[in-house]
């Protein structure tokens, strides 16, 4: 049986509420805002998962007491999971940045870090282009199955050792639009 667009009967439990996520985003915004106070900043959201993180973060930074002189949002799109719940281990670049990153202050904004391969790939790719500063920001940290060591400069919330959905994270492209982070009922994965 496949999960349906109605979401009825598919959510096992809510892990973080919309309010807890908003609170974490505000905290990340003040950390980033003060580190880049008075300087231009490029927020680089990793699609598709970070689509809400980067937009909410950009707006939260605009409201911090100390903030960058300007914030530009750009996107890069990679794929590492396909439609599965385990990473293939191969990261593919699907869409590059529109902005030039050379000489800019760049913060890569990710939804979640699990084995670390995606962030390692992106840090190397962007780092080669010689940004003035390069930092990483991750909303959900799932540290149990790291295959590579990655530097997380800004971390939001710890994530249990589960496949999670919501707030941008999907299972087979579904559930991204849940405003909270959730664990799915086991039957949803039975067709895998």
Active site residues: 114
Q: Is 113 in the site for ligand IMP (CB under 6 A)?
A: yes
Cα–Cα dist 69/94, whole Å: 31
Q: Is 53 in the site for ligand IMP (CB under 6 A)?
A: no
Q: Are 171 and 183 in contact (CB under 8 A)?
A: no
Indicate whether 118 belongs to the interface with ligand IMP (CB under 6 A).
Answer: yes
For residue 32, what are its two tokens? 């980033």
Does the protein bind ligand IMP through residue 87 (CB under 6 A)? Answer: yes
By CB under 6 A, tell whether 81 contacts ligand IMP.
Answer: yes
Q: Tell me: does residue 43 bind ligand IMP (CB under 6 A).
A: no
Helices assigned H by DSSP within 39-111: 51-61
CA 114, CA 100: separation in Å to the nearest integer? 28
185 makes contact with ligand IMP (CB under 6 A): no
Residues 6+ apart with CB under 8 A from 3: 10, 171, 172, 174, 175, 184, 188
Which of 163, 174, 176, 180 touches ligand IMP by CB under 6 A? 163
CB of 160 to ligand IMP, least distance (A): 9
Report whether 34 contacts 25 (CB < 8 A).
no
- Cβ closest to ligand IMP, residue 39 vs residue 177: 177
CB of 25 to ligand IMP, least distance (A): 17
| Residues making contact with ligand IMP (CB under 6 A) | 46, 49, 80-81, 87, 110-119, 142, 163-165, 169
């Amino acid at each position: 049986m496949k999960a349906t667009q109605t979401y009825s009967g598919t959510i096992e439990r809510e892990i973080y509420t919309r309010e807890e996520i908003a609170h974490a985003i505000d905290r990340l915004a003040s950390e980033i805002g003060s580190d880049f106070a008075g300087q231009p900043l490029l927020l680089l959201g990793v699609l598709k998962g970070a689509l809400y993180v980067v937009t909410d973060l950009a707006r939260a930074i605009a409201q911090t007491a100390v903030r960058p002189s300007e914030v530009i949002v750009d996107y890069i799109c990679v794929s590492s999971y396909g439609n599965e719940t385990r990473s293939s281990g191969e990261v593919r670049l699907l869409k590059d940045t529109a902005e030039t990153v050379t000489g800019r202050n760049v913060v890569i904004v990710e939804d979640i870090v699990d084995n670390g391969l995606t962030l390692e790939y992106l840090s190397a790719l962007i780092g080669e282009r010689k940004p003035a500063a390069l930092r990483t920001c991750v909303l959900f940290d799932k540290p149990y199955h790291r295959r590579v060591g990655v530097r997380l400069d800004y971390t939001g919330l710890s994530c249990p050792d589960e496949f999670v959905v919501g707030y941008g994270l999907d299972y087979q492209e579904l559930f991204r639009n849940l405003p909270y982070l959730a664990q799915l009922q086991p039957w949803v994965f039975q067709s895998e």
